[in-house]
Structure formats: structure tokens, C-alpha cells
Amino acid sequence: MTILLSTLNARYTHASLGLRYLLANMGPLQEQTKIQEFVIGAKTTDLVERILAHAPRIVGFGVYIWNVEETTRLVAMLKRVAPHLTIILGGPEVSHETGEQEIVKLADYVVTGWGDVTFPKLCREILDGPKPIMKVHAGVQPPMEDIALPYSLYSEEDIAHRTLYVEASRGCPFKCEFCLSSLDKTAWPFPLDTFLAEMETMYQKGARLFKFVDRTFNLNVKTSLRIMQFFLDKIEAAPNDPVYAHFELVPDHLPEALKETIAKFPAGALQFEIGIQSFNPEVQSLVSRRQNNEKAAENIRWLTQHSTAHLHVDLIAGLPGEDMASFARGFDHLVSLGAEEIQFGILKRLRGTPIIRHTQEFGMVYDPYPPYTVLATNKIDFATMQRLVRFARYWDLVANSGRFANTTPVLLGETPFDNFMAFSDWIYAHTDATHRIALDRLAKLVAQWLQVRGMDAGEAAALLASDYAGKVDAPARPVKQPSDAPKAVAPARQVRHLAA
């Protein structure tokens, strides 16, 4: 084995799509190439030992915002104990602002952007000569039909125990300045017949959970309909052998043909991730986000009322020009639409994104270390931003988790943001913690808060008890769960929302 492809995933259940693309496109070098994935949090010396056990000549690392610090330590140690190794970096974290990064200084080469063609070419030059002089190699974007698809490289172990990431297209036509996809010129689809043939092969091998990473799945409705029909056909042919598909949806683009297809899916078979980010038109304009808010809200409401799709809707706090009052209005509006989950995130300054142009005018202060979270703006000071960070964490534990489905509406009342912020401030004051809060303790704290707000102790206890009677508390990896026919397969959190 000559070339080792490696990365540190955020968790074991995440299988790296990027590494499998590289391996699929290695050409004559594929037989000499192997993938070895790790998980963040491992001891660096152990990782070095496991890498060197393969005696590779070249090691390629996928570098992302969640693993760059640990990968930097790993590369530094490898260069000390095995200086003969050639180390190549790739991935979004090293594709921009490349020259100022410590990990880039330690490595031998960097491939920025698309690596499907450029990485194999670089490996051939390193192994066969002439040895490349330049350290940084801009990735060449080939025609989509020339890229070998990687899905046959998902192993039986991957299919049985891990999330299978797939993409029918790359890129995005929108220019939202907080997103790396804003640097794309457009979206580029893979040949659809070829892609669906790969999905069929995966299905025949036992794959039942598909997570699409396309930024704009419903941009081309004809393509969306064909892909969704693929899954509907599987469900209709074998209703007791459930399939689960996750798509990222553009919120203000839901024509009738797509609605009709979505409405055919049974409960537990479909999840949509929907980026709203902000309902404030002035803020949207500042960050170059085009969105018809009225249409987006109408579509989310339709999905909650007329489909069984599980909705995961995103909001971002800390955008330039947005204060607490504006964010609170957007949050309350989103709660009123009825999505199962609101993913409340804090703005991050991803390397290369145009959001940096607002830094001075809007007093944007960012953490200099990954994940580069905004710490303060001229509208939200540091202390208030910290309250929002805690709000986001408690919201995930209580509302998004699906464990408090009956209790959450009572917690929120008529003014969801203000009421949950009061709860967030109170629980932090009583625990001084946002992590490692056991479920039973959390339930007791919620009951105690309800009593602080005037609810009778017996009534609070009964309300909390109703959230545990007959609920499914599924393990972390996707598993099949019994339900009304047809059966559903879904990750644990979605199963709990279904049970509610």
C-alpha cells in the first residue's frame, strides 16, 4: 500500500464521502490506495501508530473545521517521527486563506477545491516524477460525467452502521455570504441515470438511509421528482422494508408537482433540512440572501400540515445588522409554523466566505480558533451572545430532542423566545452547565421551572410523565422501529418525534 487517505470524522457514524470520491478516481493508483478513517478525540500517538502500520509513502488528509486542530497535531507528529512521509492536505478548511495556516506549513502539498482529478495527478508526479515544485495546487473541476462515483466503496459495515452521504449535484447558485457555497458559480448535476443506477446498487446491497448533501436539492424540480420517485417506488414495492431519505430544501421553491410527491411519503421516510437563517429582509440583503419570506413560511406551514416529512429548520444568530429583538421575532415566527426541529446556530466565519466584508462596519468579533464563532457584534454584546449560545444548547436538549413533546409548548407559551430565554438563564444559574446533564435531572429541572412559573407541582409532574409514557428512546444509530404500516426507519431523534 502506497497511498493512505485519511480524515478525522466528527463521529463514527459519519462515513467520509470525500475520501471515497478520491479513492474512486485514483485510476491506476487505486490498487495502491487505502482509506483509514478516525474519529476526533483519539490520542494523537495512537493515530500516528495506526497510520505508520500501513507503511505508506503518501498520506492525504481531509481537513475540515471540526478536525483541523487535531489534524494539525497529527501532521506535526507524523513529520517528526516519519519525516520521509509525503503529506497532502485537502478539504474546505485548507482551500482558502491557505498561506496563514500552521497545518499548511507543516504539510508538503495542499490541493484546494475539487480534488477528484488534481489529487491523483499530484500523487503520480510525487511517485513517478518530476516532483512538483509548487506546494499549493488549485483543484481542477472536471466535467461531471468524468467523475467516478464512489458509492460502491461504502462497505457492508458502512451500510449497516453509518450514515451514507450521497449527492446528485455539487455547488449552489445562491450567494449567501456566510456559506462557502457562495463561492460557486452555479450548481452542477451529475448525470441522473448514472446516479440513480448507483442508488439502486446501494439499495440492493442493503442501504436504507440516504443523506443527500446537495445544497439545493429542489432547484431542478424534474430531477427532484425523479429522485423522490425512486424512493417512493422502493416504499411501495416493499412497505415493510422502510427507507429514509434526507434532503436540503430551498424554502421558497415548492411547486405543486413537488408537493404532490412529498405528500405520498409515509411517516418516518422523509426529512427536509430547510435554511431560513433570518426572516429580517434588511439582514438578508446585507448577506446577499435571496428569499421570499412569505412564500418560505407558507411552504413550511404546508409541509407541517399536509406532509409527514420531518422538518429541521435553520436559524443563525449573530448575522450582521440583526439584534436580539429581530432574531426573537424570527424565532417566534418559525415556532408558529410548527417545524419539529429548529436548529439554532451561531454565525461562524468560515475561511474564504465573503461575510468578512462586514467585520468593521458591524463590529463583528470572531473567535480566532475553530469553529470561528462570532463572539459579539455591534448589535449583540459578548455577554448576550453567550446567553444565545446557552439557549441553543438547552433548546437542543429540550425542544429538538423530541423527549419533551408535550412539555415544550407549555414552556414556550405565547412568547416562545422570551419564555425559553428565561428558562435558559434560570437553568444555567442553577446548574452552571450546558453539557453532561443527565436526562432524569433535566426533567426534574424542567418540572421545577414550571413550578417557578406558577404551575402546581402535581400538574408539572403529570405533564413531564406524559412525555415518557410509551415513548421510544432509540439508540444513536439508525434502526428500524415498529409503527403504523408502512413501517419507518429513522435516526433516534426523528423516531421520538414520530412517537410524540
* pLDDT > 90 in the chain, percent: 89
User: What percentage of the chain carries pLDDT values higher than 70?
Assistant: 95
pLDDT of 257 over the 80 cut: yes
Euclidean distance between CA atoms 462 and 100, whole angstroms: 57
Q: Mean pLDDT in the chain?
A: 93
Q: Where does the pLDDT of residue 233 fall: very low under 50, low under 70, confident under 90, or very high at 90 and above?
A: very high
Q: Is the pLDDT at 273 greater than 60, yes or no?
A: yes
What is the C-alpha to C-alpha distance for residues 118 and 5, in angstroms, rounded to an integer? 14
> Mean pLDDT across the stretch 419-438?
96
Task: Judge whether residue 481 has pLDDT over 50.
Answer: no
- The mean per-residue pLDDT over the stretch 24-29 comes to 98
Is the pLDDT at 476 greater than 70? The verdict is no
- The confidence score (pLDDT) of residue 500 equals 63
Query: How much is the average pLDDT of 246-251?
Result: 94
Query: pLDDT at position 475, please?
Result: 36
* Residues 345-387 pLDDT 10s: 999 999 999 999 999 999 999 999 999 999 999 999 999 999 9
Q: How far apart are CA 355 and CA 269, in angstroms?
A: 36
pTM of the model: 0.92
Distance CA 458, CA 454 (A): 12
**Residues 212, 246 contacting (CB under 8 angstroms):** yes
In this prediction, residues 181-192 reach a mean pLDDT of 92
Helix spans in 96-144 (H): 102-106, 118-128
Confidence of residue 473 (pLDDT cuts 50, 70, 90): very low
Alpha-carbon gap, residue 346 to 367, rounded angstroms: 12
Q: Are 374 and 347 in contact (CB under 8 A)?
A: yes
Q: State the pLDDT at residue 468.
A: 72
Does residue 423 have a pLDDT over 90? yes
Question: For residue 41, with 0-12 CB atoms within 10 Å meaning exposed, 13-18 middle and 19 or more buried, which class applies?
Answer: exposed
> What pLDDT, on the 0 to 100 scale, is given for residue 474?
40
3-state secondary structure of 448: helix
pLDDT (tens digit per residue) in 445-468:
999 999 999 999 999 999 999 987
CA dist., res. 281 & res. 289, Å (int): 9
Residues counted in the chain: 500
| pLDDT recorded at residue 472 | 42
Residue 499's pLDDT is 67
* Res 489: pLDDT: 65
